[in-house]
Amino acid sequence: MVISATRIDTLFGGACLVPPSRLAKMDMSTRPPLSPAEEDDEAALLARYAQGDAVAARRLTTALTPRLFGHALRVLGDHAEAEDVAQEAMLRLWRIAPAWRRGEAKVTTWLYRVVANLCTDRLRMRRSTRLDDIDEPADPAAHVEQGLQDAARADALQRALDALPHRQRQAVVLRHIDGLANPEIAVILDTGVEAVESLTARGKRALTQALIGQRDALGYDHDG
């Protein structure tokens, strides 16, 4: 069976359309976290999973779930929602496994795209239903006083990320935390490389503005 964009669209209700031809055109040479050999491993493991190999399922779960969960958590800022998104993305991977054609798409790119679309759906729903349900940001100075400066910095970064428009947030997280290259991010976000560069630049500027007033409280005047 051949994976076509139409086929995937049909399988997943159009929410996570992934044209393999576009994925195949990506330049993967600059993506730091995974080597081509590792990518091959993931596709090979997926093929083994499709043939009934339970060990392959465990290895894929261990290798991929933390990344997807981490990304979803950064973008959504909510543990429960991030868990649901990561589980749903992996479930879609399991279901598409028998029809997966190696060489046409990278497993991780396909998964990140599924996660990005699921996060976008949730952020849109949240924007329309939860405007009054946003927690007040905690005072970072309180953490510093308790000697939890690292936690305070992490919280501050997450709050600043949460305040970004969701496309900027996704682009910044994919680029600067997940460490993906701009061409791959462009495919994941279904946009052009220039648009990704613009999103990340604007996102970083907004983050800087959001954090600049907290530098003293976060200890950056002294150590960084």
Partner 1 sequence: MADVALEAMFQEARRTPAEVPARLMARVLADAEAVQPMAPRGEWRRWLGGLGGLQGLGGLITACCMGFWLGVAPPQGLPDLAGAMFGVQADQVDALDEDFDGGVLTAFGWDIEEG
Q: Which residues bind partner 1 (CB under 8 A)?
A: 49-54, 57-58, 60-62, 65-66, 69-70, 73-74, 79, 82-83, 86-87, 90-91, 94-95, 97-98, 150, 153-154, 156-157, 176-177, 179, 204, 207-208, 211-212, 215, 218, 220, 224
| Residue 159 φ/ψ region, left for φ over 0, alpha for ψ in the -120 to 50 degree band, beta for the rest | alpha
Report the distance separating Cα 151 and Cα 58, nearest Å: 31
Going 72 to 75 to 79 to 80, the CA torsion angle's sign is: negative
Rounded to a whole number of angstroms, the minimum distance from the CB of residue 184 to partner 1 is 17
- Amino acid letter, residue 211: L
- Asked if residues 142 and 56 have their Cβ atoms less than 8 Å apart, the reply is no
Report the distance separating Cα 97 and Cα 222, nearest Å: 51
Give the number of C-alpha atoms closer than 13 A to the C-alpha of residue 124, restricted to the C-beta side.
Answer: 7
Nearer to partner 1, 177 or 190 (CB): 177
Report the distance separating Cα 151 and Cα 148, nearest Å: 5
Report the distance separating Cα 115 and Cα 60, nearest Å: 16
Nearer to partner 1, 79 or 124 (CB): 79
Assign 159 to helix, strand or coil. Answer: helix
Rounded to a whole number of angstroms, the minimum distance from the CB of residue 115 to partner 1 is 13
10 Å Cβ neighbour count for 168? 21
Rounded to a whole number of angstroms, the minimum distance from the CB of residue 151 to partner 1 is 10
Rounded to a whole number of angstroms, the minimum distance from the CB of residue 204 to partner 1 is 7
Nearer to partner 1, 19 or 110 (CB): 110
Report the distance separating Cα 204 and Cα 213, nearest Å: 15
Nearer to partner 1, 52 or 147 (CB): 52
Rounded to a whole number of angstroms, the minimum distance from the CB of residue 132 to partner 1 is 27
Rounded to a whole number of angstroms, the minimum distance from the CB of residue 65 to partner 1 is 5
